[in-house]
Structure 1
Amino acid sequence: MKRFDARRPDFSPYGFACELWQPVCMPRPDRHNEIELNLLTAGSLTYLLGGRRTTINSGRLAIFWAAIPHQIVDFEGDTPYFVVTLPLSEFLQIGIDADLMQRILQGELLVDPIPDDADEMLFQRWERELGGGKSTLERAASLEMHARLLRFADRFSQRQAVHSNPTLSRADQLACYIARNYQQPLTSQSVADAVGVHANYAMNLFRKTFGTTMTTFVTQHRISHAQRLLVTSNDAILDIALASGFQSLSRFNEAFKAACNCSPREYRKAHHPTVQTTSSTEH
C-alpha cells in the first residue's frame, strides 16, 4: 500500500496506475503531470488544491489535474482509498466536453454529482489489471476508464463544481491569495499585506503549514499555468511566460527547467505535439 513520500522530486511521474493509498496529512504539496482520480470507500479527504480547501467524501469519484500543487491537510478514517493516475496526453484524447476539460486544467477539483455503485468494483479490477503486467488487460482497463470519464462528463452537464469550505485559516488565506493573484507581481510583503499580517509572521506560518516558501508556491502556480497554456494553446513561449506571471523569458525558462527537467518547448512537444508555436524565440 502506498503513502505520500515527501522526498519524491516534483513532477516525478507515477505513470498509468490504479493503487490503494493510505490517507495521511501531507507535509508539503505534491505535483505530477497526470490526471488524478480519487475514490474513497469510507471517510473523507480534505485537499488544499491551488489555494482552495476542498473535501472529498466517500462514494463519489473526484478528478483533478495533479500538476496543480495539491496537499492533503485533513482526513477522516484510515480506510485506504483508490488513486488512479492517468497521463495527461491520454486524458486529452478521450474527447470529453471542452468546457469541462478546461475546468480541470484550470485547477478545479470536480466531484461526480451522482454516486455510482459500480465504481468500487471498477477500481478494484483496475488495481489488479494495471499491476498485472498483461498488456491486453491494461488496454481493457484503459478503455473502461475512458468510458467512465465520458459518463462523468455527461453527469456534469449541469456544471456542478465541488464547494470550497468558506472558513479559511490565516495560512489558507495566504495560499488562496497567491492562487488568485500569481499572474501579478507578488512579494512576501504584498501577500502578507493583503491578508493583514506581518511579513515575517506570514513567511514562517506558510512554511510551517505547507512545508515550502511563499516564493516557491508562487512559482509552482506560475509553472502550472504555463503548462496548461503549453498543452492547450498555440501561444508563443514568450507570451506564455508573461501570461503566467514571469517577468522575463530567461527567468521562465530557468524556473520551468528546474521544475520539469525540460524546456517549455520540449514539454509542449511531448504533451501536445500537434501544437505549433507562433514564435521560435527561446534561449
Structure 2
Amino acid sequence: MRRDNSAGREASIISQGDFLIERHIARAMGAAHWHDHVEINFLLNGRMTYLFSGRQEQIEAGRLALFWAAIPHQTIAVTPDAPLICIYLPLVDFLALAIDRKARQSIMQGRFLTETRPQLANAILLPQWVEEWQDGNTARRQLIADEVRLRVRRLVLDAADGHAPAAGKSVATPVGPAVRRAEMLTDLINMHYAKPLSMPKLAELAGIHPSTANKIFREVLGISVNEYLTRYRLARAMQKLADTKEPILQIAYDCGFASTSRFYDVFRQRTRTTPKQFRTTSTKK
C-alpha cells in the first residue's frame, strides 16, 4: 500500500505513533502489516481491495474508508497507478474523540467503515491537507490534525445515523484459491483467538493439512499463522485495555495468552510500553 521504498518510514510511523498524512500510488502489498493507528484512506481514482479481519473490503475512489490498523491488513488488488491519500491518526487521539462509545468499540473490534457515496468536498480538501502538511508549518499542521478529527467524527456520526453501511461490504474480487483459503484461516483465527489454538487444530477446523495451511498463509499474508494469531490477540487486548476496566490479568487470558508473563513480553516487544502504561495513556482525555 505504501511506496516501494517506504519500509524504513513505515517502521518510523509504527514506533513513533505520530499523526501523519501522505499521498502516494497505491500498491498491492507482499505481506500483511499492522501499526497502532486508526487509518483513513482516500483514493482519488480507481479502486483497491484489502484482506482485513478475514474479509475482502473494497475501497472506491472518492469515498473515505476508516479502520483500526492494529488488525493485520493487506492490499491484495489495486487499480494500476491509483493515487491514494493515507491519514494515520494515533490511537490515543481517536479514543479522545467525542463519538458514540458503541461506534468506537465496533471499529476497534474490526469494523471497516466506508462512505456510501462520495463527498465532493473530500476531493478538494484532502489534497490540500497533503500539500499544507508537506510545507511543515507547525500551526498549519495542527490545524490539519484538528480538521481530520472533525472529519472522522462526521464519518462516524453519519454511519450511526444510517448514512453509511454498518460495515464494509464483502466483495467478490477475482482472486485465486490461496487467497480464499487465507481468508478462511484468518476468519477462523478471528473467531477462536481466545481459545488454545494450535496449527493442527486450526488446520482441522479449515479442513486442510497443517503444512498446507501454513504455506498458504505465508504465500498470501507473508507471515506465519502463529505470527498473525499473536498480532490479532494483541490487537484485541489493546482494544480491551483502552475501552474497558477489566483487570489486565483477565484481559490476557480472555485474549488467548497462556500466561501473564507471555502477555507482558509480547506487549513490551510489540508496543515498547507495558499494558498498564498503554491503558493510562489511551484513556487520558
Q: Same fold (TM over 0.5)?
A: yes
1:231 aligns with 2:231: no
Maintained 8 Å contact 2:96/2:284: no
1:170 aligns with 2:181: yes
Identity of aligned residues (%): 32
Match of 2:120, SS state, is coil
Q: Which runs of 5+ in 1 are unaligned?
A: 275-283
> 1-side partners of 2:183 and 2:149: how far apart?
34
Q: Which moved more, 1:2-11 or 1:45-54?
A: 2-11
- Letter in structure 2 aligned against 1:233: T
Deviation sequence 1:48-93 (CA, Å, 0-9, x none):
1122221111111000111111111111231221001111111222
> 2-side partners of 1:178 and 1:34: how far apart?
22
> 2-side partners of 1:166 and 1:187: how far apart?
30
> 2-side partners of 1:18 and 1:273: how far apart?
24
Q: Which has the higher helix share?
A: 2
- Letter in structure 2 aligned against 1:162: G
1:213 aligns with 2:224: yes
RMSD: 2.1
Maintained 8 Å contact 1:183/1:245: yes
Q: Which moved more, 1:217-226 or 1:158-167?
A: 158-167
- Letter in structure 1 aligned against 2:206: V
For these two proteins, the number of residue pairs brought into alignment is 274
Q: State the TM-score, normalized to the length of structure 2.
A: 0.89
Maintained 8 Å contact 1:106/1:228: yes
Partner of 1:87: 90
> 1-side partners of 2:7 and 2:229: how far apart?
19
Deviation sequence 1:137-175 (CA, Å, 0-9, x none):
122212322222222123212262211236861122112
> 2-side partners of 1:94 and 1:179: how far apart?
27
Q: How do 1:256-271 and structure 2 match up within 5 A?
A: 256-271=267-282
1:117 aligns with 2:128: no
> 2-side partners of 1:200 and 1:92: how far apart?
40
Maintained 8 Å contact 2:47/2:82: no
**Runs of at least 4 residues of structure 1 off by over 6 A?**
none
Q: Which runs of 5+ in 2 are unaligned?
A: 174-178
> 2-side partners of 1:13 and 1:53: how far apart?
29
Instruction: State which of 242, 266, 269 in structure 2 corresponds to 1:255.
Output: 266
Maintained 8 Å contact 1:114/1:155: no
> 1-side partners of 2:242 and 2:123: how far apart?
32
Check 1:183–1:62 CA distance in 2 against 1; reply closer, same or farther (3 A cut).
Answer: same
- Letter in structure 2 aligned against 1:176: D
Offset of 1:123 from its aligned partner?
0.7
Maintained 8 Å contact 2:23/2:84: yes
Greater relative contact order structure (CA < 8 Å, 6+ sep): 2
> 1-side partners of 2:273 and 2:155: how far apart?
33
